[in-house]
Amino acid sequence: MQPSTVAGRGAVTWAKHIHHRVLIEPLLGSLEERQDCIKATKPAREVPIRLALLAEIDWPLPEELVKAGEMYAKAFVVWYEARRDSCSEYYVANAQTEKSQCLLQAQHYYDLVLKVNIAQIEALHAQHCPNCPWDGKTIFPEKQGNVY
């Protein structure tokens, strides 16, 4: 079935395989920052495949996914700035708790919208990411551990 809501990508930069168990998601930060994080924190055997698959995408995406992604990205920025700008430990604790809840809710909503649209995203992924080891759950189908 052809979806009726294919739109652009909105104001968010999107990427594939930022995390090994998420097919696509808004890029929170830069691609270079994520590449550096992978090099610094991931097992050496995973680094080449993670770096090879990580990329910005320019596929058209379902409109509701774009909106959910924008909301998630905005919630992340609010949370990040609250954390950065906080000047007392008391304020930090309260601001982070409240903002974290907003971020978690936005992330949960994004995950739900992605799940609802996963068949369309999987089809786009198959077109645009040939020879990918993604099995519908991970880019490391032989290994199910390592959540991030």
**Interface with Zn ion (CB under 5 A):** 129, 132, 134
Supply the minimum distance, in Å, between the C-beta of residue 100 and Zn ion.
Answer: 30
Provide DSSP, 37-89: HHHHHS-TTTHHHHHHH-EE----EEHHHHHHHHHHHHHHHHHHHHHHH--SH
- Burial (CB count <10 Å: 0-12, 13-18, 19+), residue 80: middle
Question: Which CB, 49 or 92, lies closer to Zn ion?
Answer: 49
- Taking the least distance from each CB to Zn ion, the nearer of 79 and 134 is 134
Report the nearest approach of Zn ion to the CB of residue 55 (Å). 9
Q: To the nearest whole angstrom, how small is the minimum distance from the Cβ of residue 11 to Zn ion?
A: 24
Whose Cβ is closer to Zn ion: residue 24's or residue 82's?
A: 24
Residue in the structure block whose two tokens are 């991970």: 138
Question: Minimum distance between the CB of residue 26 and Zn ion, rounded to whole angstroms?
Answer: 17
* Sheet containing 55-56, strands listed edge to edge, beginning at the edge strand earlier in sequence: 24-26, 14-16, 55-56
Q: Which is nearer to Zn ion, 15 or 95 (CB)?
A: 15
Rounded Cα distance, 7 and 26, in Å? 15
